[in-house]
Amino acid sequence: MQALGNDFVILNAIAQDFLEEIIDSAFIKNIADRHLGVGCDQVLVIKNSSCADIAMSIYNPDASHAMACGNGARCVASLWMEKTQKSLISIQVCERVLRAWKSTESNQFSQKRSEEKLQDRPNISVDMSQPTFDASLTKKIQEKIPATFVSLGNPHIVVERSVDDLDFVVNAASKIFPDGVNIEWLTVIDEHCISIDIHERGVGPTNACGTGACAAAVVAISKGYCKSPVVVSMQGGDVRVDFDETIVLTGGTSFVFEGKIDYSPACTTSPVE
């Protein structure tokens, strides 16, 4: 599935419980490789949960774990709602439980690269919980670049658009965040609209990032540049971010294809039927 060009391989470990035994670093890297495997921005694994309808584990192409993924949560929610015929579900992501529902908003959000080619579904909203700011960490970052730190379960720095040098920002950020950080370059269009460019931790440049859109919108609102709701424009399309006490992310998703993967630990390729 994909959301705004942010594409995911989704594996159902509830229906296929053997997946838990074979998922390792080599498996994830093989599946995510766009030349030798299926190819994706992230691999999402649906699992049983004791505190929500389902749990979702998130793996980057380098096999590192991601702590949050807004667009991935919307894709998994759309898929699970279709499977269960529910309009509201809960998804456990690490220690957070996110609520997701079919949005009553009209299908106004653009999926620039897919809107005429793929099967679009109803807009999905996800309550991404509360953001966490860290003033001392932001102060440390601002000694090198004009940026603000915010966490949505995963770390983000939102950079003022005045700094366009991607390599400079990524290198400066890596000295502060040795495990990596998600980076968004923010441009304010008006009080209800922003645009961002994205560099995801463990992935690199991507067409869209749900938590990145949330982080940028929250920073824009907190600085007084914008008011809620904020439409966030990315290369892959637009999402809406509402922010009061919690953040709600709304946008479209698309089903791309499903298939079977032949895999064994010795495989170097992943043929898809």
* Burial of 26 from C-beta contacts in 10 A (0-12 / 13-18 / 19+): middle
| pLDDT tens series, the chain, 273 aa | 999 989 999 999 998 877 877 889 999 999 999 998 999 999 999 999 999 999 999 999 999 999 999 999 999 999 999 999 999 999 999 999 999 999 976 555 555 544 444 445 789 999 999 999 999 999 999 998 899 999 999 999 999 876 667 788 888 999 999 989 999 999 999 999 999 999 999 888 989 999 999 999 999 999 999 999 999 999 999 999 999 989 999 999 999 999 887 766 554 444 443
CB of 62 closer than 8 Å to CB of 29: yes
- Cα–Cα distance measured from residue 58 to residue 5, given in angstroms and rounded to the nearest whole number: 17
User: 49 is written with which tokens?
Assistant: 């949960």
Q: Top-level CATH class of 2-122?
A: alpha beta
CB of 153 closer than 8 Å to CB of 96: yes
Name the CATH topology of 132-251: Diaminopimelate Epimerase; Chain A, domain 1 (3.10.310)
pTM over 0.85: yes
Helix (H, G, I), strand (E, B) or coil at 37: coil
User: Is 2-122's fold the same as 132-251's?
Assistant: yes
**Residues recognised as catalytic:** 69, 209
Does residue 205 come out as left (phi exceeding 0), alpha (psi in the -120 to 50 range) or beta? beta
Domain boundaries, the chain: 2-122, 132-251
- Cα–Cα distance measured from residue 126 to residue 116, given in angstroms and rounded to the nearest whole number: 24
**What percentage of residues in the chain have a pLDDT greater than 90?**
71
